A and B are shown apart, each in its own frame.
Chain A
């Protein structure tokens, strides 16, 4: 079973106060921490779990710059066998469609049984990659998958619908499976494990090696452009209770009592 996992390095924006940069087309990223996209971490772990059960090889791939190497190396420490960095100056400004095209060009040069991705990335919140990639490769896809069972030539998946409902599907391999968070418990990776893979070379593959035209990548190839970004209007919003934590908590307890929040 040859598995290729597509991952992305994203800024951690979930618990941080964000500001718009001067150009008005992006946020200020200077002070943000970067890490593997949360959904993709589960995809890497799932690939390694499948390999441990069924044998085979796990390959990681990302579109990015040299800063992505640390993320790839952590994936190697997690149990991936090899990693590739798809990098070219001309990739700057790529949208979801172009990113999928770049990864599709890489995948078309290799053999694989299963491609794993996260369903969504926390930076663009697009949820496009898996479906686009599968269409470009001409293989079936399932997204929001929270259970994978690889069989001989097929994969049985359970995917999330709404209100606790799921659906099960049977899919011919090769296929693209985009996982949901929570599908597994990503293992802890020690610094020692990362050191052990320090000597594994992570090849960089550029646009020409992928056989892509300059006009097809980056902002030149993008179908969707960001015109402007802004903070959502505040609206009415909550009344913020001021004061020390204890004072605020006391006031909140009184409000809860008034409003029936204490049974």
Chain B
């Protein structure tokens, strides 16, 4: 492959952390394959971000167009396919995010490229790229290869590629005329919407009792509320509990929900998908109860019990009350 391209993601005129993750992966791949490294920055009024990227990347290709201000996938796919047309033999790496989920699959079709989403690692084997992903509820690792390696798009899971400043000196900024034509967009960005605020702010809680899919069909949450009361904490949850309408969205811990930074996090019936773990910050003590011994939560937790919640939770509450005297 000739070039490793890294697509910079930004929101409201700021580069997102996913961009630096992707640059770290891109730099590593460029080193392993001997390919060139270049960042692609598409946006509106992007000079400051271009300078920021050029400090860390030997080449930054910039397209400035007001229609690229927000990560609307329609103009992005069009502009990127125009930009990359004829530049064969490349890998385009992009940090995965909810904006990129909207963009990468369509882009891969437009580029006639192979796509691997949400990669957690790469191997270069005899000049051939292989990507590591997770399948089956993110519980199984899969190493995948690409039949035609001429054009590859790979999106990367956040947290698996860590960026360190290289201090390599300023790279070149190449400004390219916008490849977008005059045809009207069929998909139009309207606005950002902030989440509703609730009666409890789990982001500021020190002790969190979080429940997940593993509570089963139980709709009565009093057992968990009672335990949280005994501990002096609050009840939070993972996504399936919100989806079932059992708790409001402002109680959901995760990348799409609320980021929390407690001292103690008790995970009950939570499998520990990365979207959930991504919302737990500040390195708390994590304790998990789950009936599946292979649940990924046990890799994130310091202590665990493999068992049924109905057996463990009441006994736990009773002992906690006793210890409090």
- The chain A residues found within 8 Å of chain B, CB to CB, are 11, 13-18, 20, 27, 42, 96-97, 100, 119, 122-132, 134-136, 139-144, 156, 158-172, 175, 181-182, 185, 222-232, 234-241, 245-246, 248-250, 252-257, 259-263
Contact A122 B106 (CB under 8 A): no
Partner of A161, one of B98, B186, B313: B98
Task: Write the nearest CB–CB distance from B64 to chain A, whole angstroms.
Answer: 21
Neighbouring A residues of B213 by C-beta, 8 Å: 14-15
A240 touches B304 (CB 8 A): yes
Residues of B within 8 A of A175 (CB): 186-187
Q: Is the CB of B147 within 8 A of A223?
A: yes
Among all A-B residue pairs, the 9 with the closest Cβ atoms: A263-B232, A131-B105, A164-B195, A245-B311, A249-B315, A182-B243, A135-B109, A253-B319, A238-B304
Q: Which residues of B contact A131 (CB under 8 A)?
A: 73, 101-107, 109
Q: B159 contacts the other chain (Cβ, under 8 Å)?
A: no
B32 interfacial by beta-carbon distance below 8 Å: no
Q: Interface code B204-244, partner A: CB below 8 Å = 1, 0 otherwise?
A: 00110000011000000000000000111100000110111
Distance in angstroms between the alpha carbons of A113 and B305 in the assembled complex:
50
Residue pair B302, A169 in contact (C-beta under 8 Å): no
* Shortest Cβ gap from B95 to chain A (Å): 12
Query: What distance in Å separates the Cβ of B217 from its nearest Cβ neighbour in chain A?
Result: 12
Q: Are B98 and A162 in contact (CB under 8 A)?
A: yes
A214 to chain B, nearest CB (A): 16
Do A13 and B105 touch across chains, with their CB atoms under 8 A apart? no
B residues near A185, Cβ cutoff 8 Å: 244-245
The residue that A164 contacts in the complex, of B232, B258, B303, B322, with Cβ under 8 A, is: B258
Do A18 and B187 touch (CB < 8 A)?
Answer: no
Q: Is the CB of A261 within 8 A of B287?
A: yes
Tell which of A161, A165, A256 touches B266, judged by Cβ atoms closer than 8 Å: A256
- Shortest CB-to-CB span from B74 to chain A, Å, is 6
- Bitwise, B235-275 to A at CB < 8 A (1) or not (0) is 00001101111000110000111110001101000010000
Q: Among A15, A226, A248, which residue has its beta carbon within 8 angstroms of that of B291?
A: A15
Please tell me which one of the listed residues B77, B244, B294, B299 contacts residue A235 in the complex, with CB atoms under 8 A apart.
B299
Q: Note all chain B residues with C-beta closer than 8 A to A163.
A: 255-259
Tell me which of B72, B105, B147, B285 contacts A259 (CB under 8 A).
B285
Chain B residue contacts of A255, Cβ below 8 A: 287, 303
Q: Are B102 and A256 in contact (CB under 8 A)?
A: no
Query: Are the CB atoms of A237 and B133 closer together than 8 Å?
Result: no
Give chain B residues whose Cβ lies under 8 Å from the Cβ of A129. 105
Question: In whole Å, how far is A133's beta carbon from the nearest beta carbon of chain B?
Answer: 8
CB of B274, distance to nearest CB on chain A (Å): 10
The reply on B324 being an interface residue by CB < 8 A is: yes
CB-nearest residue of chain A to B243: A182
Q: By the criterion CB–CB under 8 Å, are A256 and B299 in contact?
A: no
Selecting from B42-50, B136-144, B166-174, the interface stretch reads B136-144
Residues of B in contact (CB 8 Å), total 107
B308 within 8 A of A: yes
Task: State the B residues within 8 Å of A (CB).
Answer: 11, 70, 72-74, 77, 97-99, 101-110, 114-118, 130, 133-148, 186-195, 206-207, 213-214, 230-233, 239-240, 242-245, 249-250, 255-259, 263-264, 266, 271, 285-289, 291-294, 296, 298-308, 311-313, 315-316, 319-320, 322-324
Asked whether A261 lies within 8 Å of B77 as measured between CB atoms, the reply is no
Whether B292 pairs with A17 at a CB distance below 8 angstroms is: yes
Q: With a CB–CB cut-off of 8 A, which chain A residues contact B102?
A: 131, 141-144, 159
In the complex, the answer to whether A226 meets B323 with C-beta atoms within 8 Å is no
A-B contact pairs, 13 of them (CB 8 A): A135-B110, A140-B187, A144-B101, A159-B102, A167-B190, A167-B192, A169-B188, A170-B187, A171-B186, A227-B144, A231-B294, A253-B322, A254-B319
- Measured CB to CB, the nearest residue on chain B to A183 is B243
Distance to closest chain B CB from A27 (angstroms): 6
* B-side contacts of A139, CB under 8 Å: 186
Q: How far is the CA of A123 from the CA of B256 in the complex (A)?
A: 21
Q: In the complex, what residues of A have CB within 8 A of residue B148's CB?
A: 223
Given contacts A97-B115, A253-B319, A259-B285, contact A128 B105 (CB under 8 A): yes
Of the residues A126, A166, A257, A260, contact of B195 by C-beta under 8 Å = A166
Which residue on chain B has the smallest CB distance to residue A245? B311
Cα-based distance from A10 to B256 in the complex (angstroms) = 24
Cα distance A259–B266 in the bound complex, in angstroms: 12
CB distance from B253 to the nearest CB of A (A): 11
**What separation, in Å, do the CA atoms of A21 and B185 have in the docked complex?**
48
Return chain A residues, CB-CB under 8 Å to B232: 262-263
Q: Do residues A237 and B299 form an inter-chain contact, with CB atoms below 8 A?
A: yes
CA distance A95 to B290 in the complex (A): 33
